[in-house]
Amino acid sequence: MTNVIHISVSGQRLELRSAAGEVLFSAPCSTGAAGTGSEPGSGCTPLGRFAIHSKHGENAPLATVFRARIPAGLHPAASRGEDAILSRILTLRGLEPHNANTLSRFIYIHGTADTARLGSPVSHGCIRLSPQDAATLFDLVPLHTPVLITL
């Protein structure tokens, strides 16, 4: 049986659960400041069923900044004050008609330098984790792992 990543928007929490429902990993996260939805350019976090489409950053230092899913240096020098994507990236493929554009919207699970605001909806639509939590989750899940994002 397959493990499933559950993301609660109302709880601002990500959990990796076994098929039996046992919590294998749990971490505070941040979802979209603009709320939920699938409209391109909205900054919203999409809801529904997804799968891990690709993984980026294996063995990269936790402070690695990514641009277009490619390592661009270490934070803070490489981030130039931007909202940096750090540590690891798990891209999401939407499995339902309303969220099928998730890949083209570049909605990821990724690390952030803004760890003080984890637990609050402050992202541009992605699911943010601490760099360490992003690396831990990255190592725990294979490609095609199911993801469920709910209110």
Rg from Cα positions in the chain: 14
DSSP 8-state symbol, 123 = B
Range of the domain at 10: 4-150
Residue 51 has what pLDDT? 98
Q: Which CATH number covers residue 34?
A: 2.40.440.10
pLDDT by residue for the chain (151 residues), tens digit each?
799 999 999 999 999 999 999 999 999 999 999 999 999 999 999 999 999 999 999 999 999 999 999 988 887 755 565 678 999 999 999 999 999 999 999 999 999 989 999 999 999 999 999 999 999 999 999 999 999 999 9
Measured between alpha carbons, how far is 77 from 79 in angstroms, rounded to an integer?
A: 6
The number of CA neighbours under 13 Å toward the Cβ of 96 is 13
Residue 45 has what pLDDT? 98
The tally of domains found in the chain comes to: 1
Residue 126 has what pLDDT? 97
Model's pTM, two decimal places? Answer: 0.94
Residue 83 has what pLDDT? 78
Decide if 49 contacts 60 (C-beta within 8 A): no
Residue 78 has what pLDDT? 58
